Amino acid sequence: TMMHASGMVALFALIAFILPISTIASYSVIIASGEEECYVIRAPSNQESIIDGSFDVLDDELSIDVISARLESNEEVVWEHKMEGESIFEYRVKTGGVYRFCLENGKHQKPDGLDRHVGWALRLRKPPRMLDNDLEGPDQERASDLVETAAGLSNEWISLLDHYSHLETREYVHRELTENMLTRVVRWTVIEGLVLLLIAGGQVMYLRKFFERRRYL
């Protein structure tokens, strides 16, 4: 049992050593039809790094085929993708510099005149730390497999967090829309009630005057 526990501790220590810690956050933006929104991220110079993230349309009732994303460096497109569902991307940066991540709503296509609420996440992280290639043997192979597995698990975990963050934002958008609709319904119901009261009051006054005239006649 002690050996098993020490092995688990060593496993988590190796994962913590291999995988860099990155800030996980997601955002949302409303993109007007025929427009785009761009965000700047700076990669450190003289160092290899990874730009990754995800994006998803939060309006379930709208089509997604007009949404696309691209990554630019010095006004040159280094990566682009047309949305076909919740999209996850990763781009390995060889040299540092300023990069722009842009989301489009039909800007370079035929816009449909509808604004879209898009959730997105963007991160800059270091590549997983690799072990010394000079070492050989079964222990080295197991360690290399562990490095690869840990990196894959880390990426899947971050993607899962992005997915749930987009779901929470979508739920908030739908709840806000529902509350606005209920507020409008209540407002119109109150207005209709006041109008009916005014009409009923007017009818009562008219009938009272009508019967008073009949009585005098």
Q: Specify whether the CB–CB gap between 148 and 98 falls below 8 A.
A: no
**Tell me: the pLDDT tens digits for 120-173?**
888 888 877 665 555 556 666 777 777 777 777 777 777 777 777 777 777 877
Residue with the bigger pLDDT between 81 and 148: it is: 81
The pLDDT assigned to 102 comes to 93
Confidence at 37, pLDDT banded by 50, 70, 90: very high
pLDDT bracket for residue 207 (50, 70, 90):
confident
Query: How do residues 52-62 score in pLDDT, each as one tens digit?
Result: 888 888 888 88
Give residue-wise pLDDT tens across range 119-130: 888 888 887 766
pLDDT band of 4, cuts 50, 70, 90: very low
What Å distances lie between residue 214 and 41, 202, 203, 206, 208, CA to CA? 85, 18, 16, 12, 10
Q: DSSP label at 136?
A: -
Using alpha carbons, list the distances in angstroms from residue 128 to 25, 33, 87.
Answer: 20, 39, 22
Highest mean pLDDT among 20-24, 77-81, 145-149, 212-216: 77-81
How far apart are alpha carbons 210 and 119 in whole angstroms? Answer: 65
Does residue 36 register a pLDDT over 50? yes
Instruction: Give the CATH H-level superfamily of domain 2-171.
Output: Mitogen Ypm (2.60.120.510)
pLDDT above 70 covers what percent of the chain?
Answer: 80
Query: At 215, is the pLDDT very low, low, confident or very high (cuts 50, 70, 90)?
Result: low
Can you tell me the mean pLDDT for 35-43? 91
Give the helix ranges, DSSP H, for 61-137. Answer: none
Q: How far apart are CA 72 and CA 85, in angstroms?
A: 22
Q: 80-85: long-range contacts (C-beta < 8 A, 24 or more apart)?
A: 83/55, 83/57, 85/56
Arithmetic mean of pLDDT over the chain: 78
Question: Which pLDDT band, with edges at 50, 70 and 90, does 95 fall under?
Answer: confident
Q: Is 42 a residue whose pLDDT tops 80?
A: yes
Listed by start position, the domains of the chain span 2-171
pLDDT at 205: 86
For 67, residues 6+ apart whose C-beta sits below 8 A from its C-beta are 31, 55, 57, 82, 83, 103, 104, 105, 106, 116, 118
pLDDT band at 108 (very low <50, low <70, confident <90, very high): confident
Give the pLDDT score at 100.
Answer: 92
